[in-house]
């Protein structure tokens, strides 16, 4: 069985811009391509798991999402990095596009997308990670049985405050960004035990 770093897209690999529906607005977060490359070199797989309810809401089409993902993969490739897969959920229970309006099992925090990716890539979820910038990512990791890591890029700082103030699933590690998260994962992988103890980073905003 393989191990993997599952990774949220918006606010983790690419800048959070709110319903990215135009490939010209796609920007990689600094150091995220380097982080993906570190995972590529580590022998772990790296697979994006992303909620894209903008499709159900009628903001952009699946075809446009495909263009955006090809551009993201090109930008990563320009820096010698690649994803082993991209899985997205196009649904929303209150979507305006009927074909996508539903209660699904793949919109995070549900674990359906992650579970499907794990099956298709022969991944042992219990020794894998999900890196995201929202509570729903951490909750998804918890439900799937993977370790959740919160990054402070994207919505991460606000989300950390919410996680700390409620009885929610806790991240195994709070990372400054994807590169920090990946460095922690690789350290944990090679030591065979948790890397640094869980530390909470103060928010100054
Ligand atoms: Mg996100």
> Rounded to whole angstroms, what are the CA distances from 45 to 20, 25, 30, 85, 160?
25, 27, 21, 9, 26
Model confidence at 130, pLDDT cuts 50, 70, 90, reads very high
Q: Is 205 exposed, middle or buried (0-12, 13-18, 19+ CB in 10 A)?
A: exposed
Instruction: Please tell me the distance between residue 170's alpha carbon and the centre of ligand 1 in angstroms.
Output: 17
Give the pLDDT confidence of 89-129 residue by residue, as tens digits: 999 999 999 999 999 999 999 999 999 999 999 999 999 99
Catalytic residue among 8, 84, 177, 180: 8
Instruction: Please tell me the distance between residue 132's alpha carbon and the centre of ligand 1 in angstroms.
Output: 6
Phi, psi of 40 (to 5 degrees): -55, -40
CATH number for 35: 3.40.50.1000
Instruction: Let me know if residue 203 belongs to a domain.
Output: no
Q: What is the mean pLDDT of the chain?
A: 93
**Is 78 assigned a catalytic role?**
no
pTM of this prediction exceeds 0.75:
yes
For the chain, what is the domain count? 1
SS3 186: helix
Q: Is the separation of the CB atoms in 141 and 173 below 8 Å? A: no
> Cα(118)–Cα(124) distance, rounded to whole angstroms?
7
Instruction: Let me know if residue 198 belongs to a domain.
Output: no
- Concatenate the DSSP letters of all residues of 90-133 into one string: --BTT-SSGGGBS--S-STTSSHHHHHHHHHTTB-GGG-EEEES
The count of other CB atoms within 10 Å of the CB of residue 26 is 19
Instruction: Please tell me the distance between residue 123's alpha carbon and the centre of ligand 1 in angstroms.
Output: 22
Q: Is 31 exposed, middle or buried (0-12, 13-18, 19+ CB in 10 A)?
A: middle
Please report where in the chains the tokens 């992303």 appear, as a residue.
50
Instruction: Please tell me the distance between residue 82's alpha carbon and the centre of ligand 1 in angstroms.
Output: 19
Helix residue ranges, H only, 25-105: 32-42, 62-78
Instruction: Please tell me the distance between residue 98's alpha carbon and the centre of ligand 1 in angstroms.
Output: 25
Catalytic residue among 10, 84, 133, 177: 10
Give the pLDDT confidence of 11-46 residue by residue, as tens digits: 999 999 999 999 999 999 999 999 999 999 999 999
Instruction: Let me know if residue 99 belongs to a domain.
Output: yes
Tell me the average pLDDT across 160-188.
94
Instruction: Let me know if residue 181 belongs to a domain.
Output: yes
**Which domain, by its residues, includes 157?**
4-191
The count of other CB atoms within 10 Å of the CB of residue 28 is 19
Instruction: Let me know if residue 205 belongs to a domain.
Output: no
Model confidence at 192, pLDDT cuts 50, 70, 90, reads low
**Is 8 assigned a catalytic role?**
yes
């Amino acid at each position: 069985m393989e191990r993997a770093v599952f990774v949220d897209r918006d606010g983790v690999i690419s800048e959070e811009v709110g319903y990215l529906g135009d490939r010209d607005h796609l920007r990689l977060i600094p150091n995220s391509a380097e982080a993906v490359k570190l995972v590529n070199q580590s022998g772990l797989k790296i697979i994006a798991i992303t909620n894209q309810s903008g499709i159900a809401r009628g903001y952009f089409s699946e075809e446009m999402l495909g263009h955006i993902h090809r551009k993201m993969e090109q930008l990563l490739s320009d820096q010698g990095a690649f994803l082993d897969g991209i899985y997205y959920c196009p649904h929303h229970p209150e979507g305006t596009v009927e074909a996508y309006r539903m209660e699904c099992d793949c919109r995070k925090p549900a674990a359906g997308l992650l579970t499907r990716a794990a099956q298709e890539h022969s991944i042992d979820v219990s020794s894998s990670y999900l890196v995201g910038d929202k509570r729903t990512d951490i909750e998804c990791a918890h439900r799937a049985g993977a370790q959740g890591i919160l990054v402070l890029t994207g919505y991460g700082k606000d989300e950390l405050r919410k996680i700390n103030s409620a009885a929610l699933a806790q991240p195994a590690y709070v990372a400054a960004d994807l590169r920090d998260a990946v460095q922690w994962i690789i350290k944990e992988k090679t030591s065979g035990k948790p890397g640094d103890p869980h530390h909470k980073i103060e928010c100054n905003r």
